[in-house]
């Protein structure tokens, strides 16, 4: 009984004041956490110069590697690149593109919403790069997507070209025909 009596006194001394106010003012290691965060921030700032320099160097290195790789794999006299561009895009939502060169399927691409938006805003996608010999070649592109009035749309464009000695660029273009209210698909040489 004596133990319970003592415990009772202890509890009345220390516990008799129940929660009466919100605990918003209690620190709960907030200060320590903030100190740690500030210390971390100054460490990040200290490293920031090195990180920025590294980023710069790696970008230049990537450029050099790409130039070297192209020189190795796609020499200028045989290089052949195909790009995709959208102008307008009001009457067609691009879902996929398939590319055939000389009757061989060489590339297919399925577009994400982000990529579609980038194309609609003026971005140009490098779809395919290869080596082509000089002479006549046939290029066919198939475009799949949603056309006017939400209908599924599949169209093709074809071009026969004479590959010269220099590198060559093709543009698979999707434009709007406002008069006919429908998309136009074409292959242009640059």
Helix (H) or strand (E) holding 73: helix 30-73
> Segment near another protein (CB under 8 A), from 18-26, 93-101, 146-154, 175-183?
18-26
Please choose, from the candidates 91, 97, 88, 93, the residue with its C-alpha nearest in 3D space to the C-alpha of residue 170.
97
How many residues touch another protein under the rule CB under 8 A: the total is 79
- Specify the 3-state DSSP secondary structure of 139: strand
Provide, rounded to whole angstroms, the least separation between the CB of residue 180 and another protein: 21
Q: Does 6 bind another protein (CB under 8 A)?
A: no
Q: Tell which one of 2, 149, 151, 190 touches another protein (CB under 8 A).
A: 190
Q: Does 184 bind another protein (CB under 8 A)?
A: no
Near another protein in 22-81, by CB under 8 A: 22-23, 26, 28-30, 32-33, 35-41, 43-44, 47-52, 54-69, 71-73, 75
Would you give the binding string for another protein spanning residues 79-108, x where CB under 8 A is met? ----x-x-xx-------------x------
d(CA 153, CA 150): 9
Q: Tell which one of 96, 117, 156, 178 touches another protein (CB under 8 A).
A: 117
**Residue in the structure block whose two tokens are 């415990």:** 7
Burial label, 1 (beta-carbon count in 10 A; 0-12, 13-18, 19+) = exposed
The 10 Å Cβ neighbour count of residue 99 is 22
The 10 Å Cβ neighbour count of residue 182 is 15
């Amino acid at each position: 009984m004596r133990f319970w009596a003592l415990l009772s006194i202890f509890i009345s001394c220390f516990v008799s004041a129940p929660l009466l106010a919100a605990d918003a003012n209690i620190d709960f290691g907030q200060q320590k956490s903030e100190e740690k965060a500030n210390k971390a921030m100054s460490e990040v700032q200290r490293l920031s110069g090195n990180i920025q320099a590294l980023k710069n160097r790696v970008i230049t290195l990537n450029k050099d590697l790409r130039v070297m790789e192209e020189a190795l794999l796609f020499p200028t006299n045989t290089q052949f690149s195909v790009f995709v561009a959208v102008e307008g895009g009001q009457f067609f939502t691009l879902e996929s593109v398939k590319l055939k060169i000389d009757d061989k399927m060489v590339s297919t691409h399925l577009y994400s919403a982000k990529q579609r938006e980038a194309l609609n805003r003026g971005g140009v996608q490098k779809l395919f790069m290869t080596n082509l010999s000089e002479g006549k070649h046939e290029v066919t592109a198939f475009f799949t997507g949603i056309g006017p009035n939400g209908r599924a749309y599949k169209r093709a464009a074809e071009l026969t070209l004479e590959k010269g000695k220099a590198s060559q660029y093709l543009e698979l273009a999707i434009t709007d025909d406002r008069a006919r209210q429908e998309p136009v698909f074409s292959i242009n040489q640059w």
